[in-house]
C-alpha cells in the first residue's frame, strides 16, 4: 500500500495555493491523476491540511486542527484517522512513497555515511505493531489562562490535541543497527521533509529535535501504518516516528533524515521551545521536556445543559504517560465530594481508558464537574498546574462547567 487515497480536487487547489511545500519533491504531481472526484462541504479550512475537517469534529487553530474531545464519545479506544488532531508547523507535504528514502548520516555511524533506506527496504524489515497515544506537549494549554488566570503563548488547545492509534512500522533500533550506529553515539536528530518553519521573520529550518539514543533504541517506531491503513498525508506519509509516551514533537512526521552524533545535538525545538520557562523553573529553562503527563476529561461540551431529575451517564477518558491508569474519581459538586468512576477498559501503558459515572442532578443551575486520574505509580492530577510561559504539560484537574436545567 504505497499511498493513501489522494486528496480531492478542492484540497489540492488549497494545497497548491498554500505554497511550495505541497508541490515539492514531486509528490503532488505523481498523485495528480487520482484527483478527479468530489469537493467536500461543511468542512473547515486549515491552510495546508489535506484531510476534510468537518466542523462537528474539529476546531481549526491556525495551521492546526484540534479534535473535539467531547465528540470522542462515539469513538472507540482508537481514534480514527479522520478524527485525529493535526499539528503542523507549516503545511502537509504530499509525498509519494515510491520517491521517498530515509538518509542516516553523522559521526555516530561507524561505517560509510550517509546510509539510505527506501520505502520498500523499510517495509521488508520485521514490523512491530503498537497502540500508543500521540499528544501535543501543549494539549490543554488554554486552561492555564481560563482556569488559572495565567497567560501562556502558543496554540490555544483545549483537550483535543491527543489521539490513540495503532501504529505499525519498523523498529528504529533495527534501522540504526543496520546503518552501523557506533557505541559512543549519544544523540539522534530526526528531521521532517515539510517546509522550513519561519516565524517572526526568522527561518528556524526544518522541524527537527534531538532524540537520545537510549530512547531511540528502546521503543521508537518508524511508522508507515496508522490503524491498519497506510499512514495518511497529514500524519506523516509515508513514514513518521512514533515515540511512545513522549511529547508529540518527538514524533517527527514526513521523516527525511536522521543525524547520528557522538555529541549532544540541539535545535530550536530543544532550546527555544519544549523546555519549561518561568518563575518556577531554572533560569534559562528546564531540560528539554520528554514524557507527557496525566490528564482526564469529560466527553461533554463545555457549557453543556443537562436536565434535572434525570439519570445521566457521564463519560470521559483518562490517561497517563507515566504508568497505567489506576483510578478515576469524579466530583459533580465542584470538588466537595468525590466518588470513583467505572473504568470501561483495561488500563495499559501508553493508552487511555474510557470511564463512566451515573449522575442524577437534583437542583437547577450552574455546576462544575471535575475528574481526577491517578496512575499505578501514584501520579495524580493536582488542583493547579505549575505555570510555564509556553503552557506545556498541563496536568491539573479540569473544571468543566455545565448547567442543570
Using DSSP's 3-state secondary structure scheme, residue 241 falls into: strand
The answer to whether residue 79 forms part of the interface with ligand MTE (CB under 6 A) is: no
> 166 near 130, Cβ under 8 Å?
yes
Stretch that binds ligand MTE, among 87-95, 121-129, 180-188, 277-285 (CB under 6 A): 87-95
Binding string to ligand MTE for residues 129 to 168, with x set by CB under 6 A, is what?
-----x-x--------------------------------
DSSP letter string, 351-375: -EEEEEEEE---S-EEEEEEEEEEE
Of 122 and 136, the one with the shorter C-beta distance to ligand MTE is 136
Map grid coordinates 549519544 to a residue: 186
Question: Residue count at the site for ligand MTE (CB under 6 A)?
Answer: 18
Q: Which does 285 bind (CB under 5 to 8 A by kind): Mo ion, ligand MTE, none?
A: none
Site for ligand MTE in 310-369 (CB under 6 A): none
Smallest Cα–Cα separation from 140: which of 125, 130, 152, 129? 152
The answer to whether residue 251 forms part of the interface with ligand MTE (CB under 6 A) is: yes
Stretch that binds ligand MTE, among 79-87, 98-106, 119-127, 379-387 (CB under 6 A): 79-87
Give the Cβ contact number of residue 250 at 10 Å: 26
> Which residues are bridge partners to 86 per DSSP?
65
90 burial (CB, 10 Å; 0-12 / 13-18 / 19+) is buried
Of 100 and 144, the one with the shorter C-beta distance to Mo ion is 144
Closest residue to ligand MTE, judged by C-beta, is 192
Among 119, 157, 246, 254, binds ligand MTE (CB under 6 A): 254
Smallest Cα–Cα separation from 252: which of 304, 193, 187? 193
CA 362 vs CA 329, 356, 365: distances in Å: 20, 19, 10
Integer Cα distance of 65 and 63 in angstroms: 7
The answer to whether residue 233 forms part of the interface with ligand MTE (CB under 6 A) is: no
Q: Name 200's Cβ contacts closer than 8 Å, sequence gap at least 6.
A: none
The answer to whether residue 207 forms part of the interface with ligand MTE (CB under 6 A) is: yes
Integer Cα distance of 292 and 306 in angstroms: 33
The answer to whether residue 27 forms part of the interface with ligand MTE (CB under 6 A) is: no
The answer to whether residue 270 forms part of the interface with ligand MTE (CB under 6 A) is: no
Using DSSP's 3-state secondary structure scheme, residue 361 falls into: coil
Of 134 and 188, the one with the shorter C-beta distance to ligand MTE is 134
Radius of gyration of the chain (CA): 22
The answer to whether residue 277 forms part of the interface with ligand MTE (CB under 6 A) is: no
Where in 193-334 does DSSP place strands (E)?
198-199, 202-203, 211-212, 221-226, 229-230, 240-242, 255-261, 294-298, 304-306, 312-320, 325-331
- CA contacts within 13 A on the Cβ side of 91: 21
Integer Cα distance of 246 and 60 in angstroms: 24
Task: Tell me the closest approach of the beta carbon of residue 7 to ligand MTE, in angstroms.
Answer: 16
The answer to whether residue 235 forms part of the interface with ligand MTE (CB under 6 A) is: yes
Q: Which does 223 bind (CB under 5 to 8 A by kind): Mo ion, ligand MTE, none?
A: none
Task: Tell me the closest approach of the beta carbon of residue 138 to Mo ion, in angstroms.
Answer: 6
The answer to whether residue 195 forms part of the interface with ligand MTE (CB under 6 A) is: no
Of 163 and 347, the one with the shorter C-beta distance to Mo ion is 163
Stretch that binds ligand MTE, among 20-28, 172-180, 249-257, 349-357 (CB under 6 A): 249-257
Closest residue to Mo ion, judged by C-beta, is 136
Of 12 and 247, the one with the shorter C-beta distance to Mo ion is 247
Residues that bind Mo ion in the complex, under the rule CB under 5 A: 87, 136, 248-249
The answer to whether residue 248 forms part of the interface with ligand MTE (CB under 6 A) is: yes
Task: Tell me the closest approach of the beta carbon of residue 159 to ligand MTE, in angstroms.
Answer: 14
Stretch that binds ligand MTE, among 78-86, 313-321, 370-378, 385-393 (CB under 6 A): 78-86
Angle value at C-alpha 80, between 79 and 85, nearest 5 degrees: 70
Among 59, 88, 158, 296, binds ligand MTE (CB under 6 A): 88
Smallest Cα–Cα separation from 59: which of 164, 155, 197, 195? 155
Q: Which residues bind ligand MTE (CB under 6 A)?
A: 84-89, 134, 136, 192, 194, 207, 235, 248-249, 251-254
Amino acid at each position: 500500500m504505497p499511498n493513501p487515497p489522494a486528496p480531492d480536487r478542492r484540497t489540492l487547489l488549497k494545497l497548491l495555493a498554500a505554497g511550495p511545500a505541497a508541490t515539492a519533491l514531486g509528490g503532488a504531481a505523481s498523485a495528480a491523476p487520482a484527483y478527479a472526484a468530489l469537493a467536500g462541504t461543511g468542512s473547515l479550512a486549515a491552510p495546508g491540511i489535506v484531510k476534510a475537517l468537518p466542523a462537528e469534529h474539529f476546531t481549526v487553530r491556525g495551521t492546526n486542527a484540534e479534535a473535539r474531545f467531547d465528540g470522542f464519545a462515539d469513538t472507540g479506544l482508537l481514534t480514527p484517522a479522520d478524527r485525529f488532531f493535526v499539528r503542523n508547523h507549516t503545511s502537509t507535504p504530499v509525498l509519494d512513497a515510491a520517491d521517498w528514502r530515509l538518509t542516516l548520516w553523522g559521526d555516530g555511524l561507524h561505517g560509510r555515511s550517509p546510509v539510505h533506506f527506501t520505502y520498500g527496504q523499510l517495509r521488508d524489515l520485521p514490523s512491530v505493531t503498537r497502540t500508543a497515544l500521540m499528544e501535543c506537549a501543549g494539549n490543554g494549554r488554554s486552561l492555564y489562562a481560563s482556569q488559572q488566570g495565567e497567560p501562556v503563548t502558543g496554540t490555544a488547545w483545549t483537550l483535543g490535541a491527543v489521539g490513540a492509534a495503532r501504529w505499525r512500522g519498523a523498529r528504529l533500533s533495527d534501522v540504526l543497527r543496520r546503518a552501523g550506529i557506533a557505541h559512543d553515539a549519544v544523540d539522534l536528530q530526526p528531521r521532517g521533509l515539510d517546509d522550513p518553519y519561519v516565524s517572526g521573520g526568522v527561518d528556524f529550518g526544518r522541524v527537527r529535535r534531538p532524540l537520545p539514543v537510549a530512547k531511540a533504541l528502546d521503543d521508537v517506531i518508524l511508522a508507515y501504518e496508522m490503524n491498519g491503513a497506510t499512514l495518511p498525508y497529514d500524519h506523516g506519509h509515508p513514514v513518521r516516528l512514533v515515540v511512545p509516551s513522549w511529547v508529540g514533537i518527538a514524533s517527527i512526521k514526513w521523516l527525511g533524515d536522521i543525524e547520528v552524533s557522538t555529541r549532544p545535538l540541539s535545535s530550536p525545538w530543544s532550546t527555544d521551545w519544549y523546555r519549561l520557562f518561568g518563575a518556577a523553573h531554572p533560569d534559562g529553562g528546564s531540560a528539554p521536556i520528554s514524557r507527557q503527563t496525566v490528564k482526564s476529561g469529560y466527553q461533554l461540551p463545555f457549557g453543556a445543559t443537562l436536565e434535572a431529575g434525570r439519570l445521566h451517564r457521564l463519560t470521559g477518558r483518562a490517561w497517563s504517560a507515566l504508568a497505567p491508569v489506576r483510578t478515576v474519581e469524579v466530583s459533580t459538586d465542584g470538588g466537595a465530594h468525590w466518588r470513583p468512576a467505572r473504568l470501561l477498559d483495561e488500563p495499559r501503558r501508553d493508552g487511555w481508558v474510557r470511564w463512566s459515572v451515573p449522575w442524577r442532578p437534583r437542583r437547577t443551575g450552574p455546576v462544575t464537574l471535575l475528574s481526577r486520574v491517578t496512575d499505578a505509580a501514584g501520579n495524580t492530577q493536582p488542583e493547579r498546574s505549575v505555570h510555564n510561559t509556553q503552557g506545556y504539560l498541563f496536568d491539573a484537574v479540569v473544571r468543566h462547567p455545565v448547567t442543570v436545567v
